[in-house]
Amino acid sequence: MKPKPTGAKSAQPFKSMRDIEQVIGLEVHVQLKTESKIFCACPTRFGAEPNQNTCPICLGLPGSLPVLNALALDLAIKTGLALNCEISARIKFDRKNYFYPDLPKAYQISQYDMPVARNGHLTVEVSETGQALREKKIRITRAHLEEDAGKLLHEGIKDASWVDYNRAGVPLLEIVSEPDLRSSQEAFHYLAGLKSILQYLDVSNCNMEEGSIRCDANVSVRPKGDSKLGTKVEIKNMNSFRGVQRALDYEFKRQTGMLERGERIEQETRLWNEAKGETQGMRSKEYAHDYRYFPEPDLVPFSVSQKKISELKASLPELPRARIRRFLTDYGLSEYDAYVLVSDKSLGDYFEACVKEKANPKLASNWIQSELLGELNSRGLALSESKVPAQNLAGLIRLIENGTVSGKIAKEILPLMFETGSAAEMIVKEKGLIQMSDSKLLEELADRVIKAHPKPAHDVKTGKREALGFLVGQMMKETKGKANPKLINEILVRKLSS
């Protein structure tokens, strides 16, 4: 049943945005990671010359017949299981009819009333720096298989368009959420959580620039506390998770403004304009679709055995939520740290590889999140492109732990590791960066420093411990930061306590 519109010319317009909540449901299209298309043998490889990856089937030529790619179905079922869905025992495809030049057959093969998966949920971890995670369960309505359409290109042609059918027939899984999200921030975390799961499952490349994850947002507003849904607007054309968040923020302001003015919100589709930072309406008639769904006669419905589903379930890897819990118990990390490391699978793997190489887990977590990511960002590198493999970072961390270098010197070593690809030990030896832990030398130096600075030395003696920092600083300066700070502290305290 369609919800009744809110905000119909009412005598009492809403007073302020605080009295109104945003309601969001997302439709996410995920390109599944298969070598070939969903109903033919054409490659799915991105970046080929236009129309290279095509054949009579994906071009929709008469007489050609589709055959389902078995791997696409497996990946869809795995994703459904990871999203806690019920998996349909019977697989059926339908034709969704509409006319647009990017759709060669003038229908898309999709699933209408029997999606692969339904009635699931995704627990979203909403994180704020340094805070414990807030969890929220977002219900998943359904996930269904369908084929992608082609792509219109407008460059280098006047009053016409090119069409590239390389993408036509690429397998997609459309994942539809219930309208359970209440803010743009929750929507962002839902997308991040979903992407993370897809990465762990290895069912998609999850590359937004290549369009392997795309998202449409359905969004409405209503007075807080109401259970009735407001009239929804569908926003399309966002090409990043931040874009989705910005579009939702814009739309919240726009819709709230309308309610405040007592205006009526019309159901429509709007396009996000990234450059202008606004959503723009399309003539709604253009979008009043009747897809005339009917069963795809060229693909006979078939059953998936319970055994097959169980096997796929058993093959699921450890998923992000479980991994976060494990990082808490195994490594004693904070929830926030565990969340950051786990969200990106490769970062979590890197962390665990460091720990395996005997790095202290907490130090490794800190070093990865601040120094390593800092270096990667400033160099514009992905983790996979870095010259510092986990065993090298672990090596550096071990040098800090066993007192060979101070944390300060270690921060100077890491950029050198990035430039040379050398192990920390090598750099320390070459540059003579070994921390001075020779107590005889340090004792002598302490005597000299105390002599040179009688006032602070006297202060420390008479109980003003603040002056100690100054003396430590002097010793650090003399040794160019190489002295073991713990040791010089001990020496100074001993010499000045009498």
**Positions in the binding site for Zn ion (CB under 5 A):** 40, 42, 55, 57-58
CA distance 483 to 489: 10
- Binds 312: which of ligand ADP, Zn ion, none (CB < 5-8 Å by kind): none
Which residue stretch of 5-13, 17-25, 65-73, 364-372 sits at the interface with ligand ADP (rule: CB under 6 A)?
17-25
Q: What is the token pair recorded at 202?
A: 């290895």
Whether residue 58 contacts residue 37, with contact meaning beta carbons closer than 8 Å, is answered with yes
Q: Give long-range contacts, CB 8 A cutoff, 24+ apart: 261-265.
A: 261/13, 262/7, 262/9, 262/10, 262/13, 263/7, 263/9, 264/5, 264/7, 264/8, 264/9, 265/5, 265/6, 265/7, 265/220, 265/221, 265/230, 265/231, 265/233
DSSP helix/strand/coil, 120:
strand
Minimum separation from the CB atom of position 242 to ligand ADP (A): 20
CB nearer to Zn ion: pick between 37 and 270: 37
Residues 103 and 330: beta-carbon distance below 8 Å: no
Pairing mode of beta strands 213-223, 294-295: unpaired
Question: Residue 225: which region, alpha, beta or left (left: phi > 0; alpha: psi -120 to 50)?
Answer: left
Q: Which stretch binds ligand ADP (CB under 6 A): 218-226, 277-285, 294-302, 315-323?
A: 218-226
Distance of alpha carbon 168 from alpha carbon 42, whole angstroms: 10
Query: Per rule CB under 6 A, is residue 232 in the interface with ligand ADP?
Result: yes
To the nearest whole angstrom, how small is the minimum distance from the Cβ of residue 58 to Zn ion? 3
CB of 224 to ligand ADP, least distance (A): 15
57 versus 76: smaller Cβ distance to Zn ion: 57
Which one of 6, 7, 21, 25 is in contact with ligand ADP (CB under 6 A)? 25
Q: Which of 31, 108, 220, 484 binds ligand ADP (CB under 6 A)?
A: 220
Interacting partner of 58 out of ligand ADP, Zn ion, none (Cβ under 5 to 8 A depending on kind):
Zn ion
**Residue 58 vs 82, nearer CB to Zn ion:** 58
Among 7, 14, 21, 23, binds ligand ADP (CB under 6 A): 23
Choose from Zn ion, ligand ADP, none: what does 232 bind? Cβ within 5-8 Å by kind: ligand ADP
H runs (alpha helix) in 22-100 = 70-82
Given 219, 299, 390, 483, the residue binding ligand ADP (CB under 6 A): 219
Residue 229 engages ligand ADP in binding (rule: CB under 6 A): yes
- Smallest gap from Cβ 217 to ligand ADP, in A, equals 8
CB 169 within 8 A of CB 145: no
**CB 84 within 8 Å of CB 140:** yes
Q: Is 66 in the site for ligand ADP (CB under 6 A)?
A: no
Helix (H, G, I), strand (E, B) or coil at 221: strand
Site string for ligand ADP, 183-202 (x = CB under 6 A): --------------------
Q: Where are the extended beta strands (E) located within 101-159?
A: 107-110, 117-126, 134-147, 151-153
Q: Nearer to ligand ADP by C-beta: 25 or 456?
A: 25
Pairing of strands 134-147, 171-177: antiparallel
Q: Which residue is nearest to ligand ADP (CB)?
A: 25
Task: Summarize as ranges the residues that interact with ligand ADP (CB under 6 A).
Answer: 3, 23-27, 176-179, 218-220, 229-230, 232
